[in-house]
Structure 1
């Protein structure tokens, strides 16, 4: 092997390492972003009020939830 092909192989290897590191950083950022969104959605869902159940007796509220 001549020195040109060795340098080329080394440079390619270094470029691939840098690319892999960049992908790792981007994946970690995406994971943190998704975790943050999941946490915010969980807080939003837990803050929502639950609707009362339909009435079981009577002529009003047994088929349609009339609670306003």
Structure 2
């Protein structure tokens, strides 16, 4: 009976250690996601909603309307 109790205690400690490790991994994962969300938000702020048209050069500045 003593070995059964030792086995149960050992299994319980192993599960607690696994839970702590999973919590640490989840915290790191959430921090990484928060960092990526901040980077995407900063990138989205730099994008303008108005399309930027060409103002110089031969591509996109001339339209042939007589065709």
The TM tier, using the shorter chain, reads 0.7 to 0.9
> TM-score w.r.t. structure 2 length?
0.73
CA–CA distance in 2 between the matches of 1:22 and 1:39? 26
Q: How many residues align?
A: 54
By relative contact order (CA 8 Å, sep 6+), the higher-ranking structure is 1
Aligned to 1:36, what secondary structure does the other structure show? helix
Q: 1:50 Cα shift?
A: 2.5
Could you list the per-position Cα deviations for residues 22-61 of structure 1 after superposition, in whole angstroms to 9, with x for gaps in the alignment? Answer: 1111111111100000000000110112215xxxxxxxxx
1:67 aligns with 2:53: yes
Distance 1:27 1:47 in 2: 31
Report the equivalent of 2:42: 43
RMSD of equivalent CA atoms: 1.5
Unaligned runs of 5+ in 2: 55-67
5+ unaligned residues in a row in structure 1: which ranges? 53-65
How far apart are the structure 1 equivalents of 2:40 and 2:29?
16
